[in-house]
Amino acid sequence: MKVTALKIPDVKLIDPEVFEDDRGYFYELFNEKKFNELLGKTYRFIQDNCAYSKKNVLRGLHYQLNKPQAKLITVTSGKIFDVAVDIRKHSPTYGKYVSAILSSENKSSLFVPEGFAHGYLVLSNFAEVQYKVDSPWSKDSEKTILWNDASINISWPKINGQFILSEKDRNSSSAIQVLGL
């Protein structure tokens, strides 16, 4: 397993060691001991989630205010453009974002620590996204930042057609309202 820090160093791209031959391939999707050793901190993921989405679906930017979650995101089928926005008020990268392409082909995962808003855009015909979280979902704590907020200025990939958004994501708050940017 190889761990690479992105431009916001707390967000990590994780590439597994893949064993491939004429029959197919094998890799460890997650190994808690190796993961925690490589990150230098102990995380205990308590829940696995799976989301299936069609092409052009954009989910996010979601976060939990009072009960923040660390996430480990993996695409088991398809391809996504994944984004993490730093919402930690005293961070030098506050209000900045990092992105990565995750796909079933590259087998990469993205580790997003607590204190980040998260979202993604489906680039393939469909995508199955699995993610581990280290604390439970809390409806009362969940918040959403507008996906195209000008103060964050995410460079979303160009697509054919329109982004497909949930009502919650269409009606989310601006970063100025949420973060004071």
SS (H, E, C) 69-92: CCEEEEEEECEEEEEEEECCCCCC
pLDDT of residue 43: 93
Q: What is the pLDDT of residues 46-63, one digit of tens each?
A: 999 999 999 999 999 999
> 117: which residues sit within 8 A by CB, 6+ positions away?
60, 61, 62, 63, 84, 85, 87, 143, 144, 145
Domain interval for residue 18: 2-179
The overall pTM is greater than 0.85: yes
Q: Which amino acid is at 50?
A: C
pLDDT at 61: 95
Q: What is the pLDDT of residue 178?
A: 65
Q: What is the pLDDT of residue 145?
A: 94
CATH of the domain at 96: 2.60.120.10
> Could you list the active site residues?
62, 131
> What is the pLDDT at residue 32?
93
CB 80 within 8 A of CB 103: yes
Q: Determine the pLDDT at residue 65.
A: 86
Low-confidence ranges of the chain (pLDDT < 50): none
pLDDT value, residue 174? 77
| pLDDT the model gives residue 173 | 80
Please tell me whether the peptide bond between 146 and the residue prior to it is cis, using omega within 30 degrees of 0: no
- Spatial separation of the C-alpha atoms in residues 60 and 63, rounded to whole Å: 8
Which class for 76: exposed (0-12), middle (13-18), buried (19 or more C-beta within 10 A)? middle
What letter does residue 164 receive in the DSSP assignment?
B
Rg of the chain taking only CA atoms, in angstroms: 16
CA 122/CA 144 separation, integer angstroms:
18
Report the number of distinct structural domains present in the chain. Answer: 1
